[in-house]
A = this chain, B = another copy of it.
Amino acid sequence: MARLVMKFGGTSVGSVERIQNVARLVAREVDAGNEVAVVVSAMAGETDRLVALVEDMRSGANTSSHDESEYDAVVATGEQVSSGLLSIALQVMGYRARSWNGWQIPIRTSDVHGSARIDDIDAESLGTSLSEGNIGVVTGFQGVTENGRIATLGRGGSDTSAVALAAALRADRCDIYTDVDGVYTSDPRIVQKAHKLDRISYEEMLELASLGAKVLQTRSVEMAMVHQVPMRVLNSMGDPDDPKNGTLVCDEDDVVESIMVSGVTYSRDEARINLLRVTDQPGIASKIFGLLADANINVDMIVQNVSRSATQTNMTFTVRESDLARALELLEARQEEIGCEEITSDDHVVKLSVVGVGMRSHAGVASTMFAALAEKGINIDVISTSEIKISVLIDEQYTELALRTLHTAFGLDATEQ
């Protein structure tokens, strides 16, 4: 017997029929003798409907009057509905189930409404209820603040709810049911030879998640890593017993295959800014990036070119594409102060990354990557590296070619089985 947390997203609970399908998946685990807590998102479309109501109510109003706690009070109802409905579906099938809202457990959060963090989960009542043979159906995405107000974790927060709950319940595993079969070596829509990984380490998954693979929310993987909760990603429309369904995200030591690179990923939400002929004086970088940080603009890759003159340098960095206009506006307003002669930008760029814990012990990943791209005539703009990742910025027209080239170069192409 094991204790499991199963998490289902909005598409999986998007209709009465789909909720009944979820109930059958839950019942299977219960029939196998497991204790099960289920975490659900709002029915697909419901959160959007509620957010639209809030926005209609605020339209034309000054943003200073916005109280995010009321946004949360409205939007959190979506999960309340789906948890109640799934409980009913399980009861109709003859199982004992009850819904738990965040405040009923309680899942205690910070008071940053709209993007709260889980501080603590008191899993005693829920744990007792599970031990007594009840299925617990928990609202994802939300908790309660110290002041007793409802707070939401921000969109996608249900994955984090599930992992945090699994940690608090000392669950043996957290299964994240979604609409894909698992984690792939690359985007299968582009790289036809991409194959599903059976296992991947937390660290690799973290890099893949933050690099644009949308299968899991970054915070949930971080939390799973910290609390050493094994996570399984699998397709809610597939057979949970099929070994082809699902990827286990677990400790590095438990990943049996020892490969250099686990995945090749990309992110299109990138834009490059060049500050040309910046006066090279101490503190200039902190002035530029301080300015952007104050405006909540995240800077990712940074390169300071070797100066051609002793007094001037070129600086290149990337921001999210959606932040580009705002960043340029800020920089141009302070151009004189920064002491930069020209500002250029390009949003037709893409960031390509290879990720793998194997890089720690294998030299030559970078040279393999650069050589493979060079052979196809793909120019590299900017490079950034971390312990288990190498990213390069390239012209977006080469996205597909570069992905396929690297996938082959690192031996990831699926072989006929």
Contact = CB atoms under 8 A, between A and B. Distances in A.
A312 interface: no
Interface stretch (A27-35, A96-104, A331-339, A362-370): A96-104
Interface stretch (A72-80, A279-287, A399-407): A72-80
A164 interface: no
B66 A91 contact: yes
A24 interface: no
A73 B99 CA distance: 8
Contact of A58 (B61, B92, B104): B92
Interface stretch (A81-89, A181-189, A374-382): A81-89
Contacts of A69: 98
Count class of interface residues, chain A: 35 or more
A304 to B, nearest CB: 46
Contacts of A104: 148-149
A54 B98 contact: no
Nearest to A23: B57
A88 B16 CA distance: 31
A343 B99 CA distance: 48
A80 to B, nearest CB: 5
A77 B57 CA distance: 18
A94 interface: yes
A273 to B, nearest CB: 37
Contacts of A84: 54, 70-71, 73-74
25 contacts: A16-B57, A20-B57, A50-B81, A57-B85, A58-B88, A58-B92, A61-B92, A65-B94, A66-B88, A66-B91, A69-B98, A70-B85, A70-B91, A70-B98, A71-B88, A73-B80, A73-B83, A73-B84, A74-B81, A74-B84, A76-B80, A101-B150, A103-B103, A104-B148, A104-B149
A53 interface: yes
A57 B148 contact: no
A132 interface: no
B73 A92 contact: no
A19 interface: yes
B16 A89 contact: no
B88 A54 contact: yes
Contact of A92 (B53, B57, B103): B57
B57 A19 contact: yes
Task: Report whether over half of chain A's contact residues are helix, strand or loop; otherwise say mixed.
Answer: helix
Contacts of A103: 103
A70 B50 CA distance: 21
Contacts of A20: 57
A62, A83, A94, A101, most chain B CB atoms within 10 A? A101
A65 B81 contact: no
A416 interface: no
A242 interface: no
Interface string A145-166: 0001110000000000000000
A56 interface: yes
Contacts of A65: 91-92, 94
A67 interface: yes
A47 to B, nearest CB: 12
A66, A88, A99, A103, most chain B CB atoms within 10 A? A88
Contacts of A77: 77, 80-81
Contacts of A53: 16, 81, 85
Nearest to A82: B74
Nearest to A54: B88
Interface in A93-145: 94, 98-99, 101, 103-104
